[in-house]
Every structure is written in C-alpha cells, then in structure tokens.
Amino acid sequence: MTTRFKKNRKKRGHVSAGHGRVGKHRKHPGGRGNAGGMHHHRILFDKYHPGYFGKVGMRYFHKLRNKFYCPIVNIDKLWSMVPQEIKDKSTKDNVPLIDVSQFGYFKVLGKGTLPEDKPFVVKAKLISKIAEKKIKQAGGAVYSPELHSKREPVLASHLHGQNQMIGPKQTMQDSLSDLLPAGSLSIPEHISH
C-alpha cells in the first residue's frame, strides 16, 4: 500500500500523533510477556486460560508416553472406514473386515449405534465390552490379536451364545472362522489380512 493511503497519515499535523507528551508511550507499561497473570492481568487469565496456575495430583518422573499411547475410535465411525466399493459388494454371507490399526486407532469403544443388517468383523488391539456386545448384536464379530496371543487359551463368546476355545497358535483366519457360525459369514480374501 502506498504511504498516502495509510491510516497513519491521518495523525500528521497533530504533534504527538496520539501518543501524548514527553516521556509517554514507552517501554512495557503492563510488564513483559505473561507478567501479572495473578495480579493486574488476572481477569484475562481467568477468562481465557482457566487452570493456568496451580498443581494437581502427583508428578510422574520419566514417563514414557509411548507406553500409554492408545488412540480410540467409537463404533459409530467404523462403517465409514469401509471403502464404498467394498460396501457395495458386502452381503450377509460376505462381510468386510475392518482393521482399525490401519487407520491409526488402537482401541474400539462402544459409543453410538451400528447400521442395521450390515455386519462386519472388527480387528483391533483392544475392544471394550460394550463395543464387543454391540458388534455381535449386529451380527458381526471381533478379533483382538493380543487377546488371542496369550499363552493360555482364551474363551471367546460365540455369536449364538456358545463358548469356544481359541488356542495361542491359531492364525487370524483360523480364529475368525472359529468365531463365526459355520456358513454364516465369510471374509473376502483381499481384505482378510
């Protein structure tokens, strides 16, 4: 912008240009940076930064945050992860497998509802009990590698209320086929791994 159009040109001819007389408009009258957060700037800090001051609880020295990293996803988002072409091909006898770890999620939680008459198999590191219950009620199944890779065999609830033993050395495909009723659901080969 050219100088003659600038707002500051309006100050010309008014001696101090709106900044008072000798010694005014200098340095930092309110303090530098975040100074006065508990004093003369308290209103601003309370309004826009509540909880800025003070401590809560105990300190955790040398916390390795990677051990606690567990991004979550709710079941109401699962169906949107399936590509449209696979949605079109899916039937009650040929259901999609959703591996949430491919989307950056570790745990599946049970908030929301699932689409009716559209069962699918969910693979995740961790699955909450409510999420597992809702997925199975919708006709689907769940698979958790950590749950099925323990040394002792783990009980997995069958879709029809029966219990089956899943051994530690079974492959994912074997475990899924055990989870599902015979001839009821099958997983397309191109998305089973």
Q: What kind of fold does domain 69-143 have according to CATH?
A: Ribosomal Protein L15; Chain: K; domain 2 (3.100.10)
Sign of the torsion formed by the C-alpha atoms of 159, 186, 105 and 112: negative
**Rounded mean pLDDT, 145-174:** 46
Burial class (CB in 10 A: 0-12, 13-18, 19+), 190: exposed
pLDDT value at position 116? 82
User: Over the stretch 50-59, which tens digit does the pLDDT of each residue have?
Assistant: 999 999 999 9
Could you tell me which residue, 77 or 155, shows the higher pLDDT? 77
Per-residue b or e along 102-135, where b marks 16 or more CB atoms closer than 10 Å to that residue's CB: eeebebbbbeeebeeebbbbbbbebbbeebbebb
Could you tell me which residue, 23 or 72, shows the higher pLDDT? 72
Domain ranges in the chain are: 69-143
Residue 135: closest CA among 110, 102, 155? 110
| pLDDT at residue 39 greater than cutoff 80 | yes
- Joined tokens for residue 80: 């949107």
User: Over the stretch 162-186, which tens digit does the pLDDT of each residue have?
Assistant: 333 333 444 445 545 555 544 445 4
pLDDT value at position 177? 54
pLDDT value at position 153? 42
Pairing of strands 141-143, 163-166: unpaired
